[in-house]
Amino acid sequence: MNPFEMVIGIVLIVMIANVLKARYRAQHGIVEDENGNERVAARDNPDAARLRDEVRTLKERVQVLERVITDQRQTSDLNLEIEKLRDR
């Protein structure tokens, strides 16, 4: 086998591997983001959209609850500090 045939063989192997890789990704819904990270693409079905909306709503509610809890804690801590100063 001369070097020219070997180069053509390597190129063919790489091309076939890339085609098989693209086919596998398409069948399994794997996409690549701009950073090169792979992830499974969300299927466009109504249940997935509904669940995404529900998760977004729940995250917003958790953020509000966290804010309320931390605000109340700061207020109660402030009240305790004021009471300590009054007791002196």
Contact 14, 22 (CB under 8 A): no
Q: Which pLDDT score, from 0 to 100, does residue 49 have?
A: 80
Distance CA 55, CA 73 (A): 27
Q: Phi and psi at residue 43, in whole multiples of 5°?
A: -75, 145
The percent helix, strand, coil of the chain (3-state, each to 5) is: 75, 5, 15
Q: Which pLDDT score, from 0 to 100, does residue 30 have?
A: 76
Q: Which pLDDT score, from 0 to 100, does residue 38 have?
A: 66
Distance CA 50, CA 43 (A): 12
- Over its length of 88 residues, how does the chain's per-residue pLDDT go in tens digits? 799 999 999 999 999 999 999 888 888 777 776 676 766 665 666 777 888 899 999 998 888 878 777 776 677 776 777 777 777 6
Distance CA 26, CA 61 (A): 36
Q: Can you name the residues that pair with 38 across neighbouring β-strands?
A: 32
Domain-wise residue ranges, the chain: 1-41, 44-88
